[in-house]
Structure 1
Amino acid sequence: MRPPARRCALLARLWLLTCSLAFALASKDVKEVTPSKNLEKSGISRKNDIDLKGIVFVIQSQSNSFHVKRAEELRKSILQQAADLTQELPRVLLLHELSKQEGAWTILPLLPHFSATYSRNSSWIFFCEEETRIRVPELLETLRRYDTSKDWFLGKALHDEESTIIHHYAFSENPTIFKYPDFAAGWALSIPLLNKLTKRLKSEALRSDFTIDLKHEIALYIWDNGNGPPLTPVPELCTDGMDAHCVTTFHSSLPLCGNPVKKEDIFVAVKTCKKFHDDRIPIVKQTWAGQASLIEYYSDYAESSIPTVDLGIPNTDRGHCGKTFAILERFLNHSHGKIAWLVIVDDDTLISISRLQHLLSCYESAEPVFLGERYGYGLGTGGYSYITGGGGMVFSREAIRRLLGSKCRCYSNDAPDDMVLGMCFGSLGIPVTHSPLFHQARPVDYPEDYLSHQVPISFHKHWNSDPLKVYVTWLAPSKEDKARPETRKGFEDEL
């Protein structure tokens, strides 16, 4: 389902224009902090001389077995580095273990827990992703530069080059003015700021209906229309790892666990309709369709020249729930034998099947896996997570078996298929598995620096762009598509 762009654009533009001006004024009060290579010589006040026990590490983990393994390896690395410093060990938490609440991955609902549990004996909450690599001694030195009695929101800064639908066209007059953290580099909250955010969360409920880009939305919430601090860029928090001063780095290669999944084990379903047969299907065939061993085009009209399969579901302009469930039932019950994986894409999705083969090698098809780019709806008030359809939805056969074995179905044929699937899997206790390599929008809708540390698997939408050029630039197979063999390279060797 597309983000509610029209509603957001109409309702949000006025106050966002006001926000741009307010942010510009607020930003002038923040002084840039220059890195210090040697604390002993820099004369840093001893009141900032925190120990590792003053840092609570939170790894933004997921409950899928592959992600649990990666998060546990990172936790082991952090604790081992701390032990080598002969200091009292810090707390290292895995996000997926902290709460059974569906919206825990959005982090804000957990801030009261962090405040109540750690604020008395800690100075920082440091968040990172499973693939973030941390030089713990150097991180400690970096954090010592900041007065822990003040409100700090630290990270590697990203910004939009132009207003974008995934950020509800925020700061449309000057999108570059608002900075938000690249989670891959790690980001931090000082305890005084954590306590203030907790107080605010207790007094007013979270209001956002949709969670689309968490890092941007967290930065907006913390900034609070100029009442809170903007992000302070920290040059030592990195993703490229090329600079000696970096205390964090991030892997940009594809994971590989054993051998890539065979093409014959991936069935690709393309959702289309008669009015797009002439415009969109040729682009699919000119770009990525040749990588797929098994592919079918599902439409509201059977056209032998493509060919398309008429599922008997009328096309609608609102949602495609009826069509998607018909595809799922056809895959499971009527054909395709024991194929392990099903991928459902739109006819304006651009995807790399070869990269997907590498990624899927790290997931167990015997487990119920529902994989793609994760969004959320109503998570502040007990809502659900879902995989947004435009970037591609990946299902293991077991996930489809459990779904169709339940009574959860579309409430109408034109219901939003991705959101209904999120509700259904949530009711079955099957979490969605997020990968940032799938993209609901176009490359221009994301910061260049954010995409620079990715090997993307998909993009979506053709409007105001050349889809052939997008495919060649971002997704076409190349020598640079290097996978990292997880089973052959130790975690410590990567540091």
Structure 2
Amino acid sequence: MIPGNPDVGHTVAFYLIFLSFLPVNLATSNSRQGSQKQNTEEVFYDSQLDLREIVFVIQSQSNSYHVRQAERRREDLLQQTQSLTQPPPLVLFLHSLTDNEGDWSILPLLPYFSLSFGKNSSWLVFLEEETKVKVTKLLQILRKFDRRKVALYIWENGQGPRLTGVPELCTESEASQAAQHCATTLSNLSPLCGDPVKKEEIFVAVKTCKKFHNERVPVVKKTWERDASLLEYYSDHADPTIPTIDLGVPNTERGHCGKTFAIMKRYVSEAVPKTSWLLVVDDDTLISLPRLQMLLSCYDPSEPVCLGERYGYGLGQGGYSYITGGGGMVFSRTAVMKLLASGCKCYSDDAPDDMVLGMCFNALGLPVTHSPLFHQARPEDYSREFLNHQVPISFHKHWNIDPIAVFNRWLKDGLTSEIPQKFMKSTKEEL
């Protein structure tokens, strides 16, 4: 989390974080950045380190698809350790450790980890569900470091923690030649769990207003509208040339809670065809619907699913998570029905719709589900390492860019599970 900023986004999710005890230590790394120089005082070879001193924490989520993913990762870790003639390590699922909504941000869990594992464990290893680990290689790396000193200490001049870069902890694809030295790798495939969801099962709601009818709506029509089977534009002004629908909610400058709740009520009414999924986007959202169809093949619409890029508000003080609206918010019909039946509503029409929805789902005990493939900002607002191993689904904002060019470069490829080669090279060179 960012000190002093309660509104925290889920940033680069694929780096490993090590916490070592005696005292608590922290190290982070990626395959291209971070110093490869190590102070000789920080290095020694701990030939006695074994698997029992390592606790793996998979950053799992409670949705059934993500539980299955975490179980596969745990099974892979344990299978590797069977050949090492050592007792297996402890492998934990983050979502099941406590009932605290903010556990995914890790910091609220640090006291729990210290109390539970501080005496008998030397290292905590945090993994994303997609992180593949070569256990033998990881042991070799950890044995190089003095777990009493290496990662986190406070400088005497008060400038904060020092991080230790470890080049063997990589974000490369497992199939990449550059990954031969790596202890960790990542998949570069988009999730696909069967046939993509039919586009007729996704109802698309685009929020707009009169002042953007001639500026933003034409971009949607020239880019991704053609991939939608069921789509409606909702505005403060009915324009038959688009067409737009006036829901009777005045346009607001700050938030769109009233409009979003009106969209949800219309979605479950007889006014529109019945579908399994509702997608709510802004008029300056750029999105690949074919890739969304692939992703949704992994989710069960009979479950209350709220999917997108997860942010958090006040997570260290009993706050809540929410799906940020700019990158697109996806709801199963079941989730919408439960939300509306609860009576939860906007405290004002101009309240931030995504945050109010987060509060409502939190009150209902329904977790939101994070996907790093949705993006609240523009491509250039993200790091190279974050984007060069994923197949993005959405970006947001037209500010200072050519939105049609951005769509054509990043999102146009349609139904493909591999990273489009046309931007892989340029991403690595330019971002």
Under TM normalisation by the shorter chain, which class is it? 0.7 to 0.9
Alignment partner, residue 233 of structure 1 = 165
1:367 aligns with 2:367: no
Scaled by the length of structure 2, what TM-score is found? Answer: 0.85
Structure-2 change in CA distance of 1:303 and 1:365 (3 Å): same
Aligned twin of 1:69: 68
Q: How many angstroms does 1:335 deviate by?
A: 2.8
Q: What pairs up with 1:61-460 in 2 under 5 angstroms?
A: 61-152=60-151, 226-229=159-162, 231-240=163-172, 241=174, 242=176, 243-460=179-396
CA deviations 1:251-296 (Å, max 9, x no partner) are 1211111110000000100000000000000000111111111110
Question: Structure 1 residues 31, 386: CA separation in 2 closer, same or farther (over 3 Å shift)?
Answer: closer
Contact 1:48-1:146 at 8 Å conserved across structures: no
1:32 aligns with 2:31: no
- For 1:104, the aligned partner's letter is D
Return the alpha-carbon distance in structure 2 between the equivalents of residues 421 and 456 of structure 1. Answer: 24
Amino acid at match of 1:462: H
Are the counterparts in 2 of residues 48 and 147 from structure 1 also a CA contact under 8 Å?
A: no
Task: Measure how far apart 1:479 and its partner are.
Answer: 7.9
Deviation at 1:451, TM superposition (A): 0.2
- 1:445 and 1:48 map into 2 onto residues whose CA distance is 43
Contact 1:54 1:122 in 2 (8 A): yes
SS in 1 for 2:347: coil
CA gap of 1:283–1:239, structure 2 versus 1, over 3 A, is same
1:462 aligns with 2:398: yes
- Given the superposition, is the C-alpha separation of residues 480 and 357 from structure 1 closer, same or farther in structure 2, using an over 3 Å criterion? closer
CA displacement at 1:47 relative to structure 2: 3.6
Q: Report the Cα offset of residue 117 of structure 1.
A: 1.1
- Give distance in 2, aligned partners of 1:415 and 1:352: 28
CA RMSD of aligned residues (A): 2.3
* 1:223/1:323 CA distance change after superposition, 3 Å: farther
Question: In structure 2, what is the Cα distance between the partners aligned to 1:77 and 1:476?
Answer: 34
Q: Deviations over 1:65-116 (max 9, x none)?
A: 0000000110111111112211111111100010111111110010111111
SS of structure 1 residue aligned to 2:169: coil
Counterparts of 1:409 and 1:259, CA distance in 2? 36
Q: Secondary structure, in 3 states, of the residue corresponding to 2:245?
A: strand
Shift of residue 31, structure 1, vs aligned partner: 6.5
Partners of 1:369 and 1:433 within 8 A in 2: yes
Contact kept in structure 1, 2:278 and 2:331, CA below 8 Å: yes
8 A Cα contact 1:260 1:358, kept in partner:
yes
CA contact (8 A) 1:33 1:234 kept: no
Q: CA offset at residue 224 of structure 1? A: 11
For residues 224 and 317 of structure 1, the distance between their equivalents in structure 2, rounded to whole angstroms, comes to 45
SS at match of 1:345: strand
CA–CA distance in structure 2, aligned partners of residues 382 and 49 of structure 1 = 41
Q: Distance in 1 between matches of 2:105 and 2:37?
A: 28
Q: Distance in 2 between matches of 1:60 and 1:87?
A: 25
* Aligned-partner SS, 1:334: coil
**1:15-42 per-position Cα deviation (integer Å, ceiling 9, x unaligned):** xxxxxxxxxxxxxxx97347xxxxxxxx
Give the residue type in structure 1 aligned to 2:358: G
| Equivalent position amino acid for 1:374 in 2 | R
Kindly provide the amino acid, as one letter, of the partner of residue 244 in structure 1. Q
Q: Distance in 2 between matches of 1:149 and 1:367?
A: 45
Q: CA deviation at 1:144?
A: 1.0
- Alignment match, 1:218: none
What residue is the counterpart of 2:26 in the other structure?
none
- Structure-2 separation of matches of 1:114 and 1:400: 36
Give, in whole Å, the separation in 2 of the partners of 1:110 and 1:224.
28
Distance 1:462 1:125 in 2: 41
The count of aligned residue pairs is 382
| SS at 1:152 equivalent | coil
Q: Distance in 1 between matches of 2:35 and 2:272?
A: 61
The aligned amino acid for 1:307 is: P
Q: Point out where structure 2 has 5 or more consecutive residues left out of the alignment.
A: 9-33, 420-431
5+ long unaligned stretches in structure 1:
9-29, 35-43, 154-192, 197-221, 484-495
Cα deviation 1:150-193 (Å, max 9, x = unaligned):
1416xxxxxxxxxxxxxxxxxxxxxxxxxxxxxxxxxxxxxxx6
Aligned to 1:55: 54
Identity rate, percent: 60
